[in-house]
Amino acid sequence: MNALTSVAAAPNISRLRGFVSSFAELLASTDEERAILERGSALLRKLVAHDDWLPEAYARPDPTRYQQYLLHCDSRERFSMVSFVWGPGQATPVHDHGVWGLVGILRGAELVQPFVRNAEGDLVSGGPPALFRPGEVDAIGPGIGDVHRVANAYDDRTSISIHVYGANIGAVERATYDTAGRPKRFVSGYANRTLPNLWDGIATA
């Protein structure tokens, strides 16, 4: 079977539960951003190598805008995990995060355009957009680059990425930026009011 397995009729929720447990263990062992991003990338890459675990309720696009579904938030808010669901052609504004983050592509593909401050303090393109495909992982953070614009690479299908952040990202005050690099503060929240049941040892959904 291909490493990127097909979507199953019933989600294999044990994969998500295993990832959450492993990531919590990682954060218990270090608070150094570089180590978290390096070792966390390997964990997320292993998770998104399989497309059989995400419940359908957290994979639904919306025709008006992209959706951010909370999958898990650590009880001490050390990290949160979301599924980011893109309808065809949807894109974010230029924005920041304020915390470290990892993004793994589960379905479809994403185009990521980085932005940096030049010597005059203006926000400018940090290079050409990067294309990320299923199984690939990107890292962001205050120490390595935190401002970007992201888009569904496809105009005719849904794309889904899995994000892990170093905070309860839906409650973090962040900023979008206009063409002049001026910030506009926002708090994203989440699209859902219920979470996947990770802890039922019998049920898979």
170 vs 127: CA distance, rounded Å = 28
pLDDT above 80: residue 2: no
Threshold 0.95, pTM exceeds: no
72, part of any domain: yes
Q: Name the residue with higher pLDDT: 37 or 116.
A: 37
Structure tokens at 75: 């009880």
pLDDT tier at 205, thresholds 50, 70, 90: very low
- Arithmetic mean of pLDDT over the chain: 92
125, part of any domain: yes
114, part of any domain: yes
- Would you call 29 helix, strand, or coil by DSSP? helix
CA angle 205, 72, 1 (to 5 degrees): 50
Structure tokens at 90: 């949807």
90, part of any domain: yes
Report pLDDT digits (tens) over 113-133: 999 888 887 888 898 999 999
For the chain, the domain total comes to 1
Q: Which residue has the tokens 């097909």?
A: 6
Q: Across residues 177-188, what is the average pLDDT? A: 92
Q: Known binding site: residues?
A: 95, 97, 148
136 vs 138: CA distance, rounded Å = 7
173 vs 112: CA distance, rounded Å = 21
User: Domain residues for 81?
Assistant: 57-187
194, part of any domain: no
113, part of any domain: yes
CATH number at residue 93: 2.60.120.10
- Would you call 117 helix, strand, or coil by DSSP? strand
114 vs 163: CA distance, rounded Å = 17
pLDDT, residue 75, reads 94
pLDDT tier at 3, thresholds 50, 70, 90: very low
Q: Which residue has the tokens 């932005």?
A: 115
183, part of any domain: yes
Q: Which of 19-33, 34-48, 169-183 has the lowest mean pLDDT?
A: 169-183
pLDDT, residue 162, reads 98
pLDDT, residue 201, reads 64
pLDDT above 60: residue 203: no
Percent of the chain with pLDDT strictly greater than 70? 93
pLDDT above 90: residue 204: no
The H or E element containing residue 140 is strand 137-140
Q: Known binding site for Fe cation: residues?
A: 95, 97, 148
Report pLDDT digits (tens) over 122-161: 888 898 999 999 999 999 998 899 999 999 999 999 999 9
176, part of any domain: yes
102 vs 4: CA distance, rounded Å = 19
